Structure 1
Amino acid sequence: MMHFRHLTLAVVATLAIAPAAFAQDTTTDGSGKRFAVVGGYALAEPTSNPQIAGTRTNVDGDGAATLSASWYATDNIAIEAWGAADKFGNRVRTPNGKVASIDSQPYALSGQYHFGTSASTVRPFVGLGYFEANVDGEKAEPTGALAGQRIGVDTAKGAMATAGVDVNITPTWFARADVRYMQDTTGQPDVTVDGAKVGKAELNPVVLGVGVGARF
């Protein structure tokens, strides 16, 4: 949670300083450029804690590198493919301590609307799309309540909402900060222990990210 707060403060500081820093810059017009790629880093924090075998759990958040590629149909409308370049590691805890760990790797496709024009230095955007989060690496703690048992978690799927801002530095380069909310809307993933269903993995994470992008 502390890392999540630190990244939040970094994003807020960037958004507060950037408009003033680039207010006099008139060389950021990227009109005619239809593709963009962004490399960055994000922290995913679950907003729900699932109940497994009758016990309320707490699932820790984690950070990972991210990548995205966008195609701009117009200067304002874009289609974005986004995903984690690495896995988010999640520790599962109960009141009696850590009981398991899992890895998740989300990816998504969404439509976005970018406000302003290609010549705007600061361009907020919003988006809606669909995500899936592959889960693997499920492992019980050797000394926890699930020790020696085989854990399984299904893939999470559903809707994703995005809000963010691009700060154009040159016609090619820009900085980005965004937040994504992933809501499992297709039925919560089953959690199994030794093949038997014991609960649902309702995480619905908020993903806060920063990155650097290029248009071409």
Structure 2
Amino acid sequence: MAAPLALSPDGQLKLVIFDCDGVLVDSEETCCRISAEEARAAGMDVSDKNAVATFSGMALPSVKKIIEEKTGNQLPSDWIDATKKRFVAAMRQGVEAIDGVHAMLEDIRKLGLPVRVGSNSSCEEMEAKFQATKMTQYFENRIHSAQDMGIPKPRPDVYLYAAQQEGVNPANCVVLEDSNTGARAAVDAGMVCVLLRAKGEPVPEWPNLLVIHHLSEFAPLLQKTLLKQAEFHGV
């Protein structure tokens, strides 16, 4: 019998794992725009307007694969490294935090829950983003890159690795995501996923998936869960 998941009253919530782009840092539009620029340079027909819809949640190897498939052109062997440098430079010039993120992180810290990050961004990109948005203190030595692992989402490996590093079972983790690609990775990792999504936008009909519309809803959800679990386990 499978263990109850992290947000079930009879479960045990032990670790919060965040995606980065679109959940903590508002950098997805910038990265997708750069990807679209690179795609057009290679001959792919994609506008800046459609950049997020085309490249959202993707690691650079996946972006490279799509461009090559759509254009029939082979990109240079150093394309991923060169594009990653463009991402990092853009992040250092300025990137915004998602609305409400600092208050949310402080509330989760008060709950005593450990946190980690699992992202398709490289560790170098994430370090630049967190430095620019003053979040380094929350995630120092606790960030994990699916891109650097060579196994990007929607594969679940980065989330499974984060849980392993914390020494907890996947069933004891909750993941906060904003993309379908990342949510698929979390669900396939055997974790419960909370999807941050604007009202009215479509949501996949997958198991173990909850939806919130603003970061201010996340910490109260976790607090309520911990109280119910304490009651259930007689703590």
TM-score (norm 2): 0.25
Task: Please tell me whether Structure 1 or Structure 2 has the larger radius of gyration of its CA atoms.
Answer: 1
The structure with more strand, counted as a fraction of residues: 1
> Higher relative CO (CA 8 A, sep ≥ 6), structure 1 or 2?
2
